[in-house]
């Protein structure tokens, strides 16, 4: 089988420890499968992870630098990581630099210019908008303007959805959508049953799982309120973030709320679920452009999605019928959604809709686009 990237070496820069970052590891694996050598320099804030690891053929090198919570501390620690990236890059051979998100773009641009190699910018988010709740407005403005200015140094821009592509298109002429999509995955029923037993979820209970960030905008409070109103439904929440303490408290108070914490292997969590939940506050400025992993994991695993009427999730589910959209997001709407998904006929309709979406939202298609970005650099 021909390998279009045979002989190429790619350096990826990442501002998390890649433990894991599914988009990054899938992209790296796709490039390796196309013949490239991939090295990921990853920022390990907490420490304790292997300094060197190989995953799906890609080398991960973790650089440990603490990150304080204060804004000045964050800026200083970012500078230290950039310096470490610069020094390590000087010892490596590579033909292109791949920057994951704005937090690595400035140093990636500097390395690209120093080594005279192409720069690929992978914008997972509109970064300055994503960090709005934890960043002063003046710094948000600096981020926004700096990103636009640095786009002049970018050879190819990759992003996750049409929503973000529309945002970046006025500032860059070569934008490619590489979605956070997944190839179909068969659920591991045994692993799901084991996890249910571990958490105390009865086999016959309808279980709604919410897996991912526990940020305040994700509407975990709605799930807790629904759990209080419907003791016959189990609520499984997993992840980490600012809302973790509130979720832990709910799990102590309500016997049908189960908190699984953060797990590096989420497969049993999905296998335990009868439906997934993705909520996003409609008043949140990021809600319109949200392109959540939960949507695409729902499609890949054929698990019905209950979501708010926001972003790509709301649009895809409303158009396809592959789940239930909460209009408005309320306990009453949750009750109606669960009642619908308990109905065997409706569940069969949802499964058929999810199977149809699997024909479009596949990682194979996204990977082909990513490889095409790199072959276009010739």
CATH 3.40.50.1700 assigned to domain 189-357? The reply is: no
Strand partners, 239: 212
Kindly list the domain boundaries of the chain, sorted by start residue: 9-181+362-375, 189-357
Backbone φ and ψ for 127, nearest 5 degrees, come out as -65, -45
Q: Contact 312/290 with Cβ under 8 angstroms?
A: yes
Residue 12: which of 47, 63, 50, 49 has the closest Cα?
63
What's the pLDDT score for residue 288? Answer: 75
What's the pLDDT score for residue 133? Answer: 77
**Residue ranges in the chain modelled with pLDDT below 50:** none
What's the pLDDT score for residue 215? Answer: 82
Residue burial 108-140, b: 16+ Cβ < 10 Å; e: rest: bbbbbeebebbbbbbbbbbbbbbbbeebeeeeb
The reported pTM is 0.89
Strand partners, 276: 209, 305
- CATH architecture for the domain at 9-181+362-375: 3-Layer(aba) Sandwich (3.40)
Within this chain, domains 9-181+362-375 and 189-357 share the same CATH topology: yes
CA R_g for the chain: 21
């Amino acid at each position: 089988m021909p390998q279009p990237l045979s002989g190429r070496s790619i350096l990826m820069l990442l501002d998390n420890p890649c433990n894991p970052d599914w988009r990054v590891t899938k992209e790296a694996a796709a490039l390796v499968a196309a013949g490239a050598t991939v090295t990921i320099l990853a920022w390990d804030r907490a420490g304790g992870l292997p300094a060197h690891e190989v995953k799906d053929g890609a080398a991960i090198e973790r650089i440990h630098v603490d990150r304080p919570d204060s804004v000045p501390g964050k800026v200083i620690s970012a500078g230290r990581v950039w310096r470490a990236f610069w020094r390590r890059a000087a010892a490596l051979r590579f033909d292109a630099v791949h920057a994951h998100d704005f937090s690595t773009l400035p140093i990636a641009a500097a390395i690209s210019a120093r080594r005279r190699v192409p720069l690929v910018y992978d914008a997972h988010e509109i970064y300055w908008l994503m960090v709005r709740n934890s960043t002063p407005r003046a710094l948000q403005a600096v981020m926004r303007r700096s990103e636009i200015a640095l786009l002049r140094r970018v050879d190819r821009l990759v992003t996750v959805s049409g929503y973000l592509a529309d945002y970046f298109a006025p500032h860059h002429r070569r934008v490619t959508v590489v979605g956070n999509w997944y190839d179909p995955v068969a659920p591991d029923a045994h692993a799901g049953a084991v996890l249910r037993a571990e958490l105390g979820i009865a086999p016959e209970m309808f279980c709604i799982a919410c897996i991912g960030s526990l940020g305040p905008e994700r509407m975990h409070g709605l799930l807790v309120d629904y759990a209080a109103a419907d003791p016959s439904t189990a609520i499984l929440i997993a992840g980490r973030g600012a809302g973790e303490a509130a979720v832990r408290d709910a799990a102590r108070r309500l016997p049908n709320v189960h908190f699984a914490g953060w797990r590096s292997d989420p497969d049993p969590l999905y296998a335990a679920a009868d439906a997934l939940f993705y909520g996003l506050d409609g008043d949140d400025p990021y809600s319109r452009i949200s392109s959540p992993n939960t949507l695409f994991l729902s499609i890949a695993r054929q698990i019905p999605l209950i979501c708010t009427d926001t972003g790509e999730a709301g649009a895809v589910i409303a158009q396809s019928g592959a789940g239930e959209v909460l209009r408005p997001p309320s306990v009453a709407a949750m009750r109606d959604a669960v009642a619908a998904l308990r109905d065997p006929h409706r569940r069969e309709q949802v499964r058929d809709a999810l199977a149809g979406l699997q024909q479009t939202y596949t990682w194979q298609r996204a990977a082909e686009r990513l490889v095409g970005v790199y072959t276009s650099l010739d």
